Structure 1
Amino acid sequence: MKIIKDKEFLRSIAHQIDLLNTVGGGVSETYTEIRKKKKSAVINVWAAGVNPESFKVVLHQNQLTIFSVLQSHENPQMAVPMFNRIFTLPPQVDLSRIEAIYKDGELRVKLPYHDAALHPRQIDIKQI
């Protein structure tokens, strides 16, 4: 048995197999990574066969839901869920500044921290 050494071919065929599995009733294999930085956190999501229009990012209170659906062109009311992930956000995330960017097959959700979380200040104690 020969081992295929062409990595680009393997990536391409893996993408096609995952897409066929999803269309045939399977679930899209996704990879999610959370990176914490000094001033923010970033959620990266890679989902084979998922186009950018299928992704949805919803914020409700401190919960961020990232999901994608496969919409039927013949019947717009019929949709198949492909991916769903819920993240509970910590209090240092500035909910008003969250942004999502899709580029080269990767969805990146940026979670900037509040300025107060980055620069703590000491509170003076008053004596009465």
Structure 2
Amino acid sequence: MKIIKDKKFLRNIAQQLDLFNTIGGGVSETYVDVKKYKKGAVINIWAAGVNPEAFKVVLHNNQLTVYSVLHSEHNPQLAAPLFNKVFMLPPAVNLGKIEALYQEGQLKVKLPYYESVGEPREIEIKQL
């Protein structure tokens, strides 16, 4: 049996094994719940063992992507995705007022509706 003597190689392999072991056995399933209210909606995401810094929320047009990435403590270039979810937002959501906050192990993304959604309003007819 040959022993690997390259310590740098062993450290890199150990870090990768530690990272993948954490993913395989140390991270629980992510739970997503979407609740709709009269003035907006809230996306609640629970992921045990995931640091708040690991979550990312990205808005592109009417597409909201929420994901988290586990980075190796020893090698910042080594990372593995833990969770990725894409939400197609309806036109009623006011994209400029979306908020995300992390509290007590839970990520909440607030999706406020435009104030006039669902209420009829009369459109003025302009004469030219």
Normalising by the smaller structure, the TM-score range is 0.7 to 0.9
Deviation at 1:117, TM superposition (A): 1.3
Q: How far, CA to CA, are the matches of 1:28 and 1:82 in structure 2?
A: 10
User: Mean alpha-carbon deviation: is it higher for 69-78 or for 32-41?
Assistant: 69-78
Deviation at 1:49, TM superposition (A): 1.1
> What is the match of residue 64 of structure 1?
64
Instruction: Say whether the 8 Å CA contact 1:39–1:113 is kept in structure 2.
Output: yes
Query: What percentage of aligned pairs have identical amino acids?
Result: 61
Deviation at 1:115, TM superposition (A): 1.7
Pairing of 1:14-25 with structure 2 (within 5 A): 23-25=22-24
> What is the match of residue 43 of structure 2?
43
Report the structure number with the largest CA radius of gyration: 2
Q: How far, CA to CA, are the matches of 1:28 and 1:57 in structure 2?
A: 20
Residues paired across the two proteins, number: 109
- Alignment of 1:102 with 2:125, yes or no, is no
Q: Structure 1, residues 59-94: CA drift from partner, whole Å, max 9, x if none?
A: 000000000000112221111000000000000000
| Aligned partner of residue 77 in structure 2, secondary structure | coil
Q: How far, CA to CA, are the matches of 1:54 and 1:24 in structure 2?
A: 14
- Alignment of 1:114 with 2:105, yes or no, is no
Deviation at 1:24, TM superposition (A): 4.5
Q: Which amino acid letter does the alignment assign opposite residue 66 of structure 1?
A: V
Q: Which amino acid letter does the alignment assign opposite residue 55 of structure 1?
A: F
Q: How far, CA to CA, are the matches of 1:22 and 1:116 in structure 2?
A: 50
TM-score normalized with structure 2 length: 0.75
Q: Which amino acid letter does the alignment assign opposite residue 91 of structure 1?
A: P
Instruction: Say whether the 8 Å CA contact 2:23–2:82 is kept in structure 1.
Output: no
Where does structure 2 lack aligned partners over 5 or more consecutive residues? 1-18
> What is the match of residue 8 of structure 1?
none
Moved runs in structure 1, 4+ residues, more than 6 A?
A: none
Q: Which amino acid letter does the alignment assign opposite residue 114 of structure 2?
A: H
TM-score normalized with structure 1 length: 0.75
Instruction: Say whether the 8 Å CA contact 1:28–1:82 is kept in structure 2.
Output: no
Where does structure 1 lack aligned partners over 5 or more consecutive residues? 1-19
| Aligned partner of residue 116 in structure 2, secondary structure | helix
RMSD in angstroms over aligned alpha carbons?
A: 2.4
